């Protein structure tokens, strides 16, 4: 990755909150090239975003702890609490998601895999 590409990604994630045209302008590249770089480096962008979320968990967790002692009657406090919970959820600190798949059938029809062919040797026959 070139220095210019790293600068673009830094502007994209840290300065412009994902605004590709603005990050491209700050980097001094065309918007079209900015979109190409964003596509090319989507894994790096994802890692940078995860890093930002990990850092944001510190104030988010503090906000939740502070809200335990605060008056819960204000709408602003409730919104801040929801935002903090959302950050923690998205960073994987609080919620772990799992999925259970259960298939039920009303007709009792089962599809089985094909059986291997059985070779019968006529000499081994039990017929007398």
pLDDT string in tens for the chain (128-residue length): 898 889 999 999 888 988 999 999 999 999 999 999 999 998 898 888 888 888 888 887 777 777 766 665 667 777 777 777 777 777 666 655 566 767 676 666 667 778 888 787 777 665 54
Cα separation, 53 vs 59, in Å, equals: 11
Cα separation, 125 vs 128, in Å, equals: 8
Cα separation, 20 vs 92, in Å, equals: 27
Q: Do 23 and 40 touch, CB atoms closer than 8 A?
A: no
Strands (E), the chain: none
Cα separation, 27 vs 19, in Å, equals: 12
pTM: 0.50
Q: Which residues contact 70 (CB under 8 A, 6 or more apart)?
A: 77
Cα separation, 59 vs 94, in Å, equals: 14
Q: In the structure encoding, which two tokens stand for residue 101, read together?
A: 């798949």
């Amino acid at each position: 990755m070139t220095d210019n590409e790293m600068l673009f990604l830094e502007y994209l994630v840290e300065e412009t909150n994902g605004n590709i045209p603005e990050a491209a302008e700050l980097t001094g590249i065309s918007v079209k090239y900015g979109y190409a770089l964003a596509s090319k480096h989507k894994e790096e962008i994802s890692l940078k975003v995860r890093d930002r979320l990990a850092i944001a968990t510190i104030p988010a967790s503090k906000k939740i702890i502070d809200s335990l002692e605060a008056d819960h009657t204000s709408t602003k406090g409730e919104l801040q609490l929801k935002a903090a919970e959302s950050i923690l959820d998205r960073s994987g600190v609080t919620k772990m998601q799992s999925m259970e798949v259960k298939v039920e059938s009303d007709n009792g029809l089962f599809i089985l895999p094909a059986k291997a062919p059985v070779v019968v040797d006529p000499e081994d026959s039990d017929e007398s």
